Chains A and B, each alone.
Chain A
Amino acid sequence: MKHLSVVVAGSGQIRDVQIQPGTTAGDILHQLNLPDYLLSKGPNEPFFAAAESVYDKVKDGEKIFASTKAEVGARACA
């Protein structure tokens, strides 16, 4: 078991969760009812894929971010 603090970037609200080995980013977002969000360890780290196991990639007690999907680009440049 690991404890995580998920910071909802827009509001700053912190949601504490406890995860078991094999827990995916999608599981966490579903549990927190944040379906349109992505999880990451911060701006310098890539987003976790929905099916990616988060357990092995975080430390117990770590803070991670949930932010809404955004993409730089347009039809001409994406």
Chain B
Amino acid sequence: MRVTDLGGRPAPESLRQLFARVVRGHGPAIPVQRRQIPYWQERGWTLKGRTYTGSYRTPYGAFYGQITDHRGGHIDFLLYNPSDEIRRHSHWVCFQHRGNDWYMVHMAKQPRDVSSGVLTIERLITEAYEQQ
């Protein structure tokens, strides 16, 4: 007799788990809900009362700002300590100094919501850097 049956022994745990996964296949897909949040919130702004604080985020940096949503639909967009690049932009004259390095961005056409204004100012800041 050239083969002797020495009896069985349990396979290592790692092998058993691997085999179980192969037999079981993939589990059912778990649907992941998409977050439906306003753009301002997605960009990390916070709201207290009627005032939002946060940063206008661009590939060239984040610029601290404050937004006040007045009753009646008027929204004030403020930017703190604009960089030299922003100050050289053709629309710099539309930034009104409000003291202590705060500037209000004058809108010829008011956005209907805060998020659209944040997008517009982020776009303007990006443009200021790309036009250098």
Contacts and interface: CB of A to CB of B under 8 A. Distances in A.
Interface string A60-77: 000001011111111111
A9 B94 contact: no
Contacts of B38: 9-12
Interface in B81-132: 91, 93-94, 105-124, 126
B119 A77 contact: no
A12 B124 contact: no
Interface in A37-78: 40, 43-44, 46, 65, 67-78
Interface in A2-48: 5, 7, 9-14, 36, 40, 43-44, 46
Most chain A CB inside 10 Å of its own CB: which residue of B106, B118, B126: B106
Contacts, number: 98
Q: Is the interface of A mostly helix, strand, loop or mixed?
A: loop
Contacts of A74: 94, 106, 108
B95 to A, nearest CB: 9
Given A71-B107, A72-B108, A9 B119 contact: yes
Nearest to B75: A70
B85 to A, nearest CB: 15
Most chain A CB inside 10 Å of its own CB: which residue of B37, B108, B115, B116: B116
Contacts of B105: 72
B94 A77 contact: yes
A10 B112 CA distance: 8
Contacts of A78: 94, 108
Interface of B: 34-39, 41-42, 57-59, 91, 93-94, 105-124, 126
